[in-house]
Structure 1
Amino acid sequence: MWKRKMLQTKRGTFEIFQKGVGKPLCVAHHYAVFNETGDYFADTFTNRFCVTLVNLRGVGESEQAHEPYEYSMVDSVLDIEAIRIALEYEKWIYAGHSTGGMIGLLYALLHQPSLESLVIVGSAARDYTQSSACIYNENHPKFAVMQQYQFALTQPNITATKKEELTMKRTRLSLFEPEKYTQYFTDGISKGISGERLNFFSREAVLFDITRKLKHINIPTNICCGRYDVQCPVEYSKEIHQEISQSQLFIFEKSNHYPFLEEKDLFQKIIEQALH
C-alpha cells in the first residue's frame, strides 16, 4: 500500500501518496483520483525510486478549485512545483502517462531547472483527438462506445459494481490484446475519475498545442508509446521526439495505450536503462 500524506504548500494543501526508495520521482494525471491502492503506471517506478503520486486540485482531499481556471494544465504544473518545494527536493524526475504526459511536457517548459528528466508515455503535445486513429475522434469506429463508457463513469451515483464493469469495458478498448485484461489488472488497484477535471480538460485540450515550444526542452526525455495506441496515437510521440533534441523514442510493437502492462518486462528494462 502507498503511504498517504496531506502536504501543506504555498498553493494550499494537497493529498499525496508515496512509495519506494531512491531518487524522487513524481507521477500525476489530469483527472485521475488516486488512493492508497496506488496506480499501475506509478508502481512501475517504485522498485528504484521514491515515487510521489499526486491528487491534483479538486481531487480527493486536495485543495479545492475556487475558480474554473485552477483545473488548467498551467495551474496543475504550478501546484506540482509547489509540492516539490514543500517536499524539499532540489530536483526530481517527472513521469506521466496520457494526460499526465501532457502536464509533464508543460512542466518542463515552465520549470525546467526543477526536473532531472522526463518519462512521457502514450501522450501528446497537442490535441490528439484530431487524428482519426484516436478513439476520441468521431471518425473512429469505436468513438460512440468510448463516449458512452466515459460519460457513465463520471456519473455521481454510479455503484461500485457498475463502475468496475464499465472500467473493464472501457479499458479493453485500449489494449492490444483485450482478452488479457484480467491478466494485466490483477493488483486490486482502484482509482476514480474526476468529472469536473475531465470536463475542463475536454475543453482545454482543443486549444492545447505546445509543439513549437518543445525545442526549448533541454533535459533527457524518454518517450514511450504502443504502436497501436488508440488514445494518443503513436504519431504524436514521434512528433515529440522529433522536437526534443535530448529525447529517446521507444515504440512497443505489441502494445496499445498501456505498454507498462502489455509489455511489462520490456518496459521495465527500458526504463531502468534510461534512468540509470
Structure 2
Amino acid sequence: MGKWKRKMVNTLRGKFEVFVKGEGTPVCVTHHYSEFNETGDYFADMFCETNQVFLVNPREAGGSAGAAEPYQLSMLETVFDLEAVRKELGFPRWGIAGHSTGGMLGVIYGIYYSRSLTFNVIVGAAAREYMTFSEDCIYNEAHPDFERMQELNELLKRADLEDEERRQFKIERTKFSLTDPARYHDYFNKEINKGMSAIRMNFFSRELQVYDVTRKLGLSFAPTLIMCGRNDVQCPLTYSEEMSELIPNSRLVVFEHSNHYPFLEEEDLFRKAYVQFVCEIDK
C-alpha cells in the first residue's frame, strides 16, 4: 500500500506537516498532542485501504508551525488550523476521523464546520471533561491505576529519556488501556514510532478542566459514527453514549471486548462498521 509521504502545507495560518497515504475520499486524521512522522499511525492505517488519508501534525508538533501565543494550542484553534489545511489542499469537503483527543477535535470540528465534512468518525472520545465524575476513568483519583498513569505521563514528557526507557514506559502506559494487556505485542507489531508534544499535552491538561461542548452538539449535522470499547478506561463508554444522544444523524457502535483501542482489539469488526457507515452515506 506504500509508505506515508511527507508534505508541507503552507496555509494562511502557517505551515503544517502532513503525511499522506492511500487513495479515495480524503480523510483528515490527527491527535491533539501526538507527533507523527513517516512511520504513520495505527489508527490512521485503518482508513488507508478505503481513503486518501491526511495525517496532520498540529501546531508545535513535528515540523508544523510553532505557537506565537499560548491560546494557539487550544482545541478550537487547532480546528481552525485543520480547516485552513483543508482549504489549502483544495478539498470542498473531507472526512475527519479521530481517536481519543483526536476524537475530541472531531467533535469540535463537527460543531463549527459540518459543512466542510463528508463524515465524522469519533472513537473513544468525549464532549466534556471525563475524569472528575467517573471513577471508571484511569485519570480519576479513585481509579487504582491513577498514580502510576500520572507518573508515566510525566516521565514521557522528559527529553532526557533513553530510547529504550521511553519505549518501555510507553508500553506500560498503553497496556492499561487494553482489555487483554498480554496481547500488546499482537496489536502493536508495526515499526510505528510517533512522539508526543509535551507543550501541547501540558496545555491540554489545563484546557480539559473547562472542556464541555455538550450543549452545542445539536449544531453538528455531518453524518457521524461514534465508536467506543465497552471497557474504555480513558474515555468511558457513557461519554460516547451521551454524544450519540445529542449529535443528530449519528450512530453508536460499541465493541464488547475492547478497551481504548477497538481498531486494534477488534480490528475486523471496527473496519466492517466503518465501511458499512461510509457505504450508507454514499447511497
TM-score (norm 1): 0.99
Corresponding position: 1:272 with 2:283: no
User: Aligned to 2:255, which of 252, 255, 264?
Assistant: 252
Residue in 2 aligned with 1:27?
29
* Deviation per residue, 1:159-179 (Å, 9 max, x gap): 111111011000000000000
Residue in 2 aligned with 1:118?
120
AA partner of residue 194 (structure 1)? S
Corresponding position: 1:128 with 2:126: no
Tell me how far apart the structure 1 counterparts of residues 275 and 109 of structure 2 sit (CA, whole Å): 23
User: Aligned to 1:223, which of 218, 223, 226?
Assistant: 226
AA partner of residue 249 (structure 2)? Q
Q: Partner of 2:228: helix, strand, or coil?
A: strand
5+ residue gaps, structure 1, are none
Tell me how far apart the structure 1 counterparts of residues 32 and 167 of structure 2 sit (CA, whole Å): 21
Tell me how far apart the structure 2 counterparts of residues 216 and 88 of structure 1 sit (CA, whole Å): 25
Q: Partner of 1:129: helix, strand, or coil?
A: coil
AA partner of residue 209 (structure 2)? V
Q: Partner of 1:225: helix, strand, or coil?
A: strand
Tell me how far apart the structure 1 counterparts of residues 148 and 83 of structure 2 sit (CA, whole Å): 37
Q: What is the deviation of 1:262? A: 0.2
Residue in 2 aligned with 1:232?
235
* 8 Å contact from structure 2 (residues 95, 119) kept in 1: yes
More deviation in 197-206 or 156-165? 156-165
Tell me how far apart the structure 1 counterparts of residues 168 and 62 of structure 2 sit (CA, whole Å): 22
Residue in 1 aligned with 2:40?
38
Residue in 2 aligned with 1:141?
144
* 8 Å contact from structure 2 (residues 218, 247) kept in 1: yes
Q: How does 1:143-162 map to 2 (within 5 A)?
A: 143-162=146-165
Q: Partner of 1:111: helix, strand, or coil?
A: helix
Q: How does 1:75-224 map to 2 (within 5 A)?
A: 75-130=77-132, 131-224=134-227
Write out the 4+ residue segments of structure 1 that deviate beyond 6 Å after TM superposition. Answer: none
AA partner of residue 28 (structure 1)? T
Q: What is the deviation of 1:109? A: 1.2
AA partner of residue 160 (structure 1)? D
Q: How many residues align?
A: 276
| C-alpha RMSD of the superposition | 0.6
AA partner of residue 233 (structure 2)? V
Q: What is the deviation of 1:245? A: 2.1
Tell me how far apart the structure 2 counterparts of residues 116 and 255 of structure 1 sit (CA, whole Å): 27
Q: Partner of 1:205: helix, strand, or coil?
A: helix
5+ residue gaps, structure 2, are none
* Deviation per residue, 1:203-243 (Å, 9 max, x gap): 00010100111011112100000000000000000000010
AA partner of residue 135 (structure 1)? I
Q: Partner of 1:151: helix, strand, or coil?
A: helix
AA partner of residue 258 (structure 1)? Y
Q: Partner of 1:183: helix, strand, or coil?
A: helix
AA partner of residue 185 (structure 1)? F
Tell me how far apart the structure 2 counterparts of residues 219 and 63 of structure 1 sit (CA, whole Å): 29
AA partner of residue 123 (structure 1)? A
Residue in 2 aligned with 1:4?
6
* 8 Å contact from structure 2 (residues 228, 255) kept in 1: yes
* Deviation per residue, 1:235-273 (Å, 9 max, x gap): 000000010121110000000000000000100111110
